[in-house]
């Protein structure tokens, strides 16, 4: 049983609306704080910011890859090998697709593959996370 069980419908609605507004306000504040961390990291050229030796703010950029630009990788690597490694899913019911995480292991084989992957990369959002660190570390 929660204390909400004893509320009238009107009281429960009022509490709900109050909590939803508080959540929206908190989400807006978190968004603004995250943007400030992004700006500070960009200004300092950092991907991590240490805070008083107790926390580290990590900024990681996500990326997607232009699948059409990746198609020419098949000129350097046998499509059967790409498929068996899981790096390429041939078209069946959906268009063919590369799994870039599995494709990365082919980077070292040929410099053109690495260049192709770099050109196909589409930078995404910068995610902010905070982790606690041991003071003795």
Reported as a single tens digit per residue, the pLDDT across 2-48 is 889 999 999 999 999 999 999 999 999 999 999 999 999 889 888 89
At 62, list the tokens.
């996500």
Q: How far apart are CA 19 and CA 28, in angstroms?
A: 14
Stated length of the chain: 137
Assess contact for 7 and 16: CB atoms under 8 A.
no
How do residues 46-96 score in pLDDT, each as one tens digit? 889 988 888 999 998 888 999 999 988 988 888 899 989 989 888 875 677
pLDDT of residue 2: 83
**Phi, psi for residue 12 in degrees, rounded to 5:** -65, -40
In angstroms, the CA 73 to CA 105 distance is 13
**What pLDDT does 120 receive?**
93
């Amino acid at each position: 049983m929660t204390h909400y069980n004893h509320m009238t419908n009107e009281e429960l609605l009022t509490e709900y609306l109050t909590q939803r507004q508080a959540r929206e306000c908190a989400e807006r504040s978190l968004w603004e704080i995250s943007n400030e961390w992004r700006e500070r990291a960009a200004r300092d050229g950092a991907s991590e910011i240490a805070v008083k030796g107790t926390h580290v703010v990590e900024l990681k950029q996500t990326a997607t890859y232009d699948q059409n630009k990746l198609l020419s990788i098949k000129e350097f690597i046998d499509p059967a090998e790409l498929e068996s490694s899981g790096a390429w899913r041939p078209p069946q019911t959906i268009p063919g697709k590369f799994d870039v995480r599995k494709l990365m292991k082919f980077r070292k084989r040929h410099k053109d593959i690495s260049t192709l992957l770099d050109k196909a990369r589409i930078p995404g959002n910068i995610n902010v996370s905070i982790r606690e660190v041991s003071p003795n570390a």
